[in-house]
Chain A
Amino acid sequence: MALTDAELLNRAVHGGEQAFHELVDRYGDELYRLALVMLRRPADAEDVLQETLLGAYKSMGRFEGRSSVRTWLTRILMNQVAMRRRDRSRHAALSGNRDEPLATAARPDTTSAASWRMDLDQALDGISVEHRDVIVMREVQGLSYEEIAQVLSIPRGTVESRLHRARRALRDLLGDYKPQAKS
């Protein structure tokens, strides 16, 4: 029988390195996805994922189990993403260049679905960071409102209203999207 996240983490805390690697296997993909949509650059997403997992390894002894391991890891990732964004904007300010998203531009896919994805990525760039964070956590990672509230340390009602505003803003930016255009 597979161990629960909490059991794995407990083993990892008591020196079970393999248990931690198992947790990495469990959540690596979904954390990477989240980082990729937030940062758009696969290399940055990979770096942030690694930093997140190391941060988790370093602080796992202090994990009190008040939230799920998944929520805890997501919160660490969101902090790392925020730091990476700050670094980028500082770097962009110093070099005088505008930070441009690369991940979607790197895909030479010309299907309508890919085109829609590009539009969506651009639209995501057009909404505020706090709206983008909640919608990505909901749509990409599939976190519940309660979990998003825990990750961002905000009330559940705020999550609901932010998600609503985020969707409305995206719809305004994307215009009337026709679902049948998707291949």
Chain B
Amino acid sequence: MNNCQYENNLSAFLDGELDGERLAAFESHLNECEPCREAVAQYRAMRSGFEAARSEHLAQVQWARLHSQLAIKMREMRLVEIRRTCQGFAAAAAVVLLSCFLWQGVWSGSSSTTSDAFADAAWERTLIIEGVDEGVTEETDEDLQLAQWIAYDLAPRTGGRR
């Protein structure tokens, strides 16, 4: 380990990340400091060990696999997105339909008297035309008959007195 106060600048120097003033100061220090020079040489040597890693690359077959897999997955993702959009639209449509249904229910509830009146009128018309109408007629005949009987009963009596 190097106990030099400039040691912290070694990496930045090696990576070309020292700016003007710091670089000038470190370069002049390097001329005087043997441990720092050694450290720089060792780090540079160590860097060469990464060369093999830097030369790694995907083989042709790996490229082909990567692109085809990506294409498949990307298509799947698009389908999922389309499905989600459709589900969104379907949900929105359902909400709209439900709202319309509820709205109509409210309106028909408030106009129920009108419709009831129509229904009653229709019902009455039906009663009058079919059957109940006859009943009404019978009742009227009965009343007439009763009136006739009364008139008949009264007539001899009034005549007898006379």
Instruction: Identify the A interface with B (CB < 8 A).
Output: 17, 20-21, 24, 28-29, 32-33, 36-37, 46, 49-50, 53-54, 57-58, 113-114, 116-117, 119-120, 136, 138-140, 142, 144-145, 160-161, 163-164, 167-168, 170-172, 174, 176-179, 182
Q: Which of B8, B46, B58 sits near A161, CB closer than 8 Å?
A: B8
A116, B49: Cβ atoms under 8 Å? yes
How many A-B pairs have beta carbons closer than 8 Å: the answer is 112
Question: Chain A interface secondary structure, helix, strand, loop or mixed?
Answer: helix
A36, B46: Cβ atoms under 8 Å? no
- Judge whether B62 is part of the interface by a CB distance below 8 angstroms: yes
Instruction: Identify the B interface with A (CB < 8 A).
Output: 1, 7-8, 10-12, 14-15, 17, 39, 41-54, 56-58, 62-63, 65-67, 69-71, 73-74, 77
A58, B77: Cβ atoms under 8 Å? yes
A36: chain B residues within 8 A (beta carbon): 53, 56
A57, B74: Cβ atoms under 8 Å? yes
- Least CB distance from A102 to B in Å reads 14
A172 closest partner in B (C-beta): B1
B43, A49: Cβ atoms under 8 Å? no
A21: chain B residues within 8 A (beta carbon): 67, 70-71
Q: Given A140-B50, A164-B11, A167-B43: A29 and B57 within 8 A (CB)?
A: yes
Question: Chain B interface secondary structure, helix, strand, loop or mixed?
Answer: helix
B56: chain A residues within 8 A (beta carbon): 29, 32-33, 36-37
- Least CB distance from A134 to B in Å reads 10
Leading 6 A-B pairs by shortest Cβ distance: A179-B45, A120-B49, A139-B50, A164-B11, A163-B11, A29-B57
